């Protein structure tokens, strides 16, 4: 279907996907930037914060594991709309929970936000991969750069809210309203069926059924791509969940400076994703993923073991650069063959989100015993494993220009 679309429609579709990626970044970093404030409101320990953040991860897994079936039934356009409205609702509930200092309400809100976020994550990446094919040029890293731009905006607003002592509830409810209003205005530019929902595809290999979609869980290449995404998503997600608090507790900076350093991290990720387009075109997936893993490992070593805050900030930059391309390159590789793209993207994203499911409570519990900074050694190990698994991302099937 994408080959039949007019150039103006494809460009409008591209721009809408940019907006969707940015909105998810704004939503996520709005929550992350206020985690120190929420911790203070609840007077929660590091381990307790890990379980609170677990609500976000559990909701994300629920959204991810159902995503390919939802996309097959209603298509990417309506999945994105419903998912972002659900995420906006969850964010508002978190704000109410912070106002009431109610841990249960905050966890419930994070679960709703996570479910919407997980559904949207797969749908926007499937739409992005289809749009990349329609444009016939590398663009997936730029979509993820838009996510990073969104996180910078969200982190900046969160830092401003911290400095200005804006209540968490006011901040998050306003952000939720912006998310809902923007997606309602944007979704009409995403063509219906353009990402070719799998339920409509039947070729020489036979019709795509629920059983067919579940069978991709047994594909070695898909699982190894999942390992790549798992390792570098753990590097990204651990910073999303814990960097601000780790810098506050481990490097003795203020809450506001902790939020600012999180902004530095996402800014570095944005630069990495923009530069990644040229790097992928010049060198291909495997060398870029190897270099990314090495950069993330180097940054983590500096943050963990160098006590000087200024030098550690350089480590934050390296960490962000190294984490930048794991998700976009991994999901682009999973979508090489359009017939089962949504199912494979769902599998890879679900494996990657295991970092968000096991990571928050795991790092929190470990941090209780050894400190958050030394708990990041586990992240370092997973980033190294991602580098070792990078050859699995070599292209197969029908490819976009990015699949090299």
The answer to whether residue 312 scores a pLDDT higher than 60 is yes
Query: 196 phi and psi, to 5 degrees?
Result: 55, 70
pLDDT, mean of residues 246-254:
85
H/E element, 203? strand 202-203
Q: Where are the domains of the chain?
A: 2-190+218-393
List, in order, residues 6 or more apart from 139 with CB less than 8 Å away: 14, 128, 131, 132, 277, 402
The answer to whether residue 89 scores a pLDDT higher than 60 is yes
User: pTM score, two decimals?
Assistant: 0.74
pLDDT, mean of residues 1-10:
72
- The pLDDT score that the predictor gives to residue 105 is 94
Binned at pLDDT 50, 70 and 90, residue 400 comes out as: very low
* Dihedral class, residue 284 (left if φ above 0, else alpha if ψ from -120 to 50, else beta): left
- The pLDDT score that the predictor gives to residue 204 is 47
CA distance 311 to 359: 26
pLDDT in tens, 260-294: 888 889 789 889 988 988 898 889 899 999 999 99
Strand stretches in 102-164, DSSP E: none
pLDDT in tens, 93-152: 999 998 998 889 999 999 999 999 989 988 898 888 788 878 877 788 899 889 878 988
- The pLDDT score that the predictor gives to residue 357 is 67
Q: Which carries the bigger pLDDT value, residue 358 or residue 207?
A: 358
| 2-190+218-393 classified as CATH 3.30.70.920 | no
Q: Which carries the bigger pLDDT value, residue 354 or residue 20?
A: 20
pLDDT in tens, 145-190: 898 789 889 988 988 988 888 999 999 999 999 999 999 999 999 9
Name the nearest CA neighbour of 134 among 223, 245, 8: 8
């Amino acid at each position: 279907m994408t080959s039949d679309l007019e150039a103006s429609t494809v460009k409008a579709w591209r721009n809408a996907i940019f907006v969707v990626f940015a909105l998810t970044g704004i939503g996520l970093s709005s929550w992350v930037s206020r985690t120190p404030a929420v911790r203070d409101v609840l007077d929660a320990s590091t381990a307790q914060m890990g379980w609170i953040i677990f609500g976000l991860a559990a909701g994300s897994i629920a959204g991810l594991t159902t995503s390919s079936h939802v996309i097959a039934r209603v298509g990417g356009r309506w999945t994105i709309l419903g998912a972002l409205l659900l995420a906006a609702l969850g964010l508002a509930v978190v704000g109410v929970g912070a106002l009431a200092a109610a841990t249960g309400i905050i966890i419930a809100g994070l679960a709703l936000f996570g479910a919407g976020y997980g559904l949207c994550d797969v749908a926007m990446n499937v739409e992005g991969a289809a749009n990349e094919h329609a444009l016939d040029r590398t663009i997936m890293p730029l979509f993820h750069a838009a996510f990073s731009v969104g996180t910078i905006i969200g982190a900046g607003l969160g830092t401003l809210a911290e400095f200005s002592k804006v209540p968490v509830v006011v901040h998050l409810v306003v952000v939720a309203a912006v998310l809902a209003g923007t997606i309602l205005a944007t979704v009409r530019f995403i063509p219906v069926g353009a990402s070719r929902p799998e339920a409509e595809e039947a070729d020489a290999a036979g019709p795509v059924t629920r059983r067919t979609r579940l069978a991709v869980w047994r594909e070695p290449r898909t699982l190894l791509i999942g390992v790549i995404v798992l390792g570098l998503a753990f590097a990204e997600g651990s910073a999303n969940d814990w960097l601000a608090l780790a810098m506050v507790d481990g490097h003795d900076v203020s809450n506001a400076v902790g939020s600012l350093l999180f902004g530095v991290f996402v800014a570095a990720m944005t630069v990495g994703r923009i530069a990644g387009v040229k790097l992928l075109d010049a060198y291909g997936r495997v060398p870029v993923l190897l270099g990314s893993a090495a950069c993330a490992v180097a940054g983590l070593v500096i943050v963990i073991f160098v006590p000087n805050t200024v030098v550690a900030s350089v480590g934050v930059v390296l960490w962000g650069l190294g984490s930048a391309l794991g998700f976009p390159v991994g999901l682009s590789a999973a979508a090489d063959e359009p017939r089962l793209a949504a199912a494979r993207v769902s599998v890879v994203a679900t494996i990657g989100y295991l970092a968000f499911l096991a990571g928050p409570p795991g790092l929190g519990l470990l941090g209780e015993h050894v400190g958050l900074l030394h708990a990041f050694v586990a992240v370092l190990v997973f980033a190294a494993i991602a580098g070792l698994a990078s050859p699995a991302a070599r292209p197969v099937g029908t490819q976009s220009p990015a699949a090299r």
